[in-house]
Structure 1
Amino acid sequence: MSITPRTVISTDADLVTSINVFTVTPGRQAELVAALDRTTRVFFATVPGFRSANVHASQDGTRVVNYAQWASAGHFEPMLRMPEARPHLAEIGALVEQSDPRLYEVRSTHHGALTAPR
């Protein structure tokens, strides 16, 4: 039986999270989402230490958020300097007006009560 990897948001997870908020012109949001999906599949997911990525598109068409989990900052930061990363990072950079990348640690999580659907 194979186990499908999933994003786990937990204070117990020994991970760092890269959250990058991209600002785009509304006409470029879908293009950026497609580029992030493609580059994650063909490059980022192959890098040692990569755990998961999730791409969120704002309903107003002006933001895209990339939420990616890595084993450690020691895995994430060297990836940014890899020659193989340059064309992927350049493609993404050419599509955005602004980006705000940061590394985070999960400090707390909260959940609503589980109820049966009506």
Structure 2
Amino acid sequence: MTSPTTSLSVTTGTDKITLVNVFTVDIERQTELVEALDEATRSIFTKVPGFISANLHVSLDGTRVVNYAQWADKASYSAALQHPEVRKHVEHAAGIAQAYDPTLVQVWSVHNSDADVS
């Protein structure tokens, strides 16, 4: 459950930052990697101050996993990287992946379909 001051929506004009991390992985290890990321998010990151949300995506060709994670601000993300459990998880995920490319970004614009997608 989120607090009334925490918004899970993607919006512009805030201090929130987003980690977009693209992992390259052997096809045989994509499921292993996404399951490790999923478990760490559930058991570690959801308890770290400043963490807002994470979305994990798997490429259809089996060679990539994309982690899109929102943080309250850059300081919260940087502080999280100092936690021993977080560091252990990062090392574990890096050991499964062939490569990874973490990039911090801010939302520039948001567009939604005019169509009713219910």
Is the pair's TM-score, using the shorter chain for normalization, greater than 0.5?
A: yes
1:42 correspondence with 2:63: no
% identical aligned pairs: 44
Structure 2 stretches lacking a partner, 5+ long:
none
1:69 correspondence with 2:54: no
Amino acid at match of 1:106: V
Structure 2 SS opposite 1:110 = coil
Structure 2 SS opposite 1:81 = coil
Q: CA deviation at 1:110?
A: 1.3
Give, in whole Å, the separation in 1 of the partners of 2:117 and 2:48: 40
Q: State the number of aligned residues.
A: 116
Give, in whole Å, the separation in 1 of the partners of 2:114 and 2:61: 29
Greater shift, 35-44 or 85-94, is seen at 85-94
Give, in whole Å, the separation in 2 of the partners of 1:116 and 1:23: 31
Give, in whole Å, the separation in 1 of the partners of 2:29 and 2:47: 26
TM-score w.r.t. length of structure 1: 0.88
Give, in whole Å, the separation in 1 of the partners of 2:73 and 2:7: 17
Give, in whole Å, the separation in 2 of the partners of 1:105 and 1:85: 22
Structure 1 stretches lacking a partner, 5+ long:
none
**Contact residue 40 and residue 53 of structure 1 kept, 8 A:** yes
Amino acid at match of 1:55: L
TM-score w.r.t. length of structure 2: 0.88
**Contact residue 51 and residue 71 of structure 1 kept, 8 A:** yes
Give, in whole Å, the separation in 1 of the partners of 2:77 and 2:29: 26
